[in-house]
Structure 1
């Protein structure tokens, strides 16, 4: 049985593409405009066909391999609500969303998967985006499902909600069902990061892991215009502090044997998360190498679709298109 094929745009660190691969899809083409993201993709999957280009500049006629695919997938930069779309920096994300939808006209995949902010699925301020997608795609014969998934329901140790658009050719659309949770109990930060926290002999690693007994708040990658990496907005940092984590920065390394962990003494005595650990919290396998220096690596990780979520979405699409799970593609 042949694997189903896909084109992935705005591929970033490859979380969406990796999960789709795990679900049984084989990529025909991936593209991203960030040089480090392209390096990440090529490092981990040298056999993938990765194009370094902006989605807005992509012409599928110049890359005919993108035609006749089963799925177009896009983990796009987060669009702004209608309250902010008038700002000068907000149209870039909106243009990418529109470009991904318009690309369907050219390559005519059997299904479309677009992942973005949770509000995109149902909230009124994003209605014009939903109307745009429907106006462009309904007459091509696609039917739509809009829904929200939370990464924690798929074994990712993080509360991370994502809005998802699945559009499938009308003759198979009635077979589609959003993915059901794959775990009954959430995976915790401590269970995920405990072994790596102990890697350099930190004596309090087990004690820290035992009290970090809940999922992480949403990791936020931030923009290239921001300064150094941190673990998100104020509310997220407060949540991290309850787990004894300093969320104001990202560490270069895990604690050594002499680190004194005592949150009562302030942030300097809280543990810090490394970029590699952030990747684990995002559901990447430990073997997945992220290119660049610390801040650039964390930014790629924070923007990524968690691979376990992408795998679940991919399997749901396979069920609709084929009526049974596809054979996983070779990694």
Structure 2
């Protein structure tokens, strides 16, 4: 079961890890449409999409969904603005803070494991929300959970072509907790040039002009040879979508991409000079932004361009969720099999050096 499911980044990753969802809870109507459109087929048959406001919802309905079975995992990406380094960092004083709701759900539903995702601002600077983190930890421990880690995980280490540090909390009960091992990072960094090559070839086409501009983009992206800056989804209070603040736009420019807006979908381009042939390079389509977040091409975002891009920009990369989910499943299955726990140091993730976190979301 998952709260604050957004456009399904975490849900897709956990699905790929082997979980079968019973419910996805999300309030944004465009994201609800995206979930309904994509969460279908094998493994999704019993999943209910609940368009709920979590400040007032039906806990009895959730208990009914779980029924007599055991809930293996309660997951959620609780709202980030209360803790974002780019915001006011009001924390628990922010009306958007849903940690209390998540903890209430843990107490009522008694899942075997809990996974909570948020921005790194919740953990950095360390002293800012220290008391709040300690109270959250104490609450979970009072319910019988062991905190297996609450650290920053970098998306690029899991095959996502983007700098996207996220704070991940995992808590489990014994005996499964003793079997939990850190998720394995990818052995290879995926660059923007590699990730977008095929879609850029298709967008530019086979005309002489298109080939010329494709080659120019490819050379620029390969020379930089790195991952993308953090995509920023923004909020409904602001205007049209772009790829981030000034510093992020400069980083995109070094990769041959114009970060000052989002292109029309391929095949529906109204202004090629703006979307493909501008002096700053091509703009990304929503579909390409989704690739930068680690989504597969067949995950289709609903709503008009700006609404769809915001869903992408605010998403949790599926490969990161999958890696953590696989570690949780291995621990649950090992406990069920009665295996002896491994001799592994406690802790979820290796520390992330500050130099890896130069771009923020």
Equivalent residue number for residue 179 of structure 1? 183
1:129-140 equivalence runs, <5 A? 129-140=132-143
Secondary structure of the residue aligned to 1:292 is coil
* Alpha-carbon offset, residue 85 of structure 1: 4.3
1:33 & 1:261 partners in 2: Cα distance?
32
**Which residue is 1:102 aligned to?**
104
Corresponding residue pairs, total: 314
Q: Secondary structure at the match of 2:175?
A: helix
Q: Residue 193 of structure 1 is aligned with which of 183, 191, 196?
A: 196
Deviates more, 1:210-219 or 1:161-170: 210-219
Question: SS of the residue aligned with 1:78?
Answer: coil
**In structure 2, distance between residues paired with 1:322 and 1:130:** 29
The list of structure 1 runs, each at least 4 consecutive aligned residues, that deviate by more than 3 angstroms after superposition, is 253-263
Asked if structure 2 preserves the Cα contact closer than 8 Å seen for 1:222 and 1:299, the reply is: yes
In structure 2, relative to structure 1, the CA distance for the partners of 1:260 and 1:86 (3 Å cut) is closer
Q: Give unmatched runs, 5+ long, in structure 2.
A: 337-361
Report the secondary structure of 1:287's partner residue: coil
Cα distance, 1:178 vs structure 2: 2.4
**In 2, distance between residues paired with 1:175 and 1:230?**
43
C-alpha RMSD over aligned residues: 2.8
The Cα of 1:259 is off from its aligned counterpart by: 5.5
CA distance in 1, matches of 2:8, 2:96: 19
1:157 aligns with 2:169: no
Residue number in structure 2 paired with 1:4: none
| Other-structure match for 2:19 | 25
1:40 to 1:225, Cα distance in 2 relative to 1, 3 A: same
Among 26, 32, 43, which residue is 1:38 paired with? Answer: 32
The Cα offsets for residues 218-250 of structure 1, whole Å up to 9 and x where unpaired, read as 111111111110111121111111112111211
Which of 263, 272, 284 is equivalent to 1:273?
Answer: 284
**Please, which runs of 5 or more residues in structure 1 have no aligned partner?**
1-6, 326-331
Mapped partners of 1:85, 1:143: distance in 2:
27
Instruction: Determine the structure 1 residue equivalent to 2:52.
Output: 53
Distance 2:106 2:182 in 1: 21
Query: 2:65 aligns to what?
Result: 65
**What is the CA–CA distance in structure 2 between the aligned matches of 1:237 and 1:260, rounded to whole Å?**
16
Q: Distance in 2 between matches of 1:79 and 1:108?
A: 27
Partners of 1:134 and 1:250 lie apart in 2 by 40
Following TM superposition, by how much is the alpha carbon of 1:121 offset from its aligned partner in structure 2, in angstroms? 4.1
Q: Find 1:236's aligned residue among 229, 242, 248.
A: 248
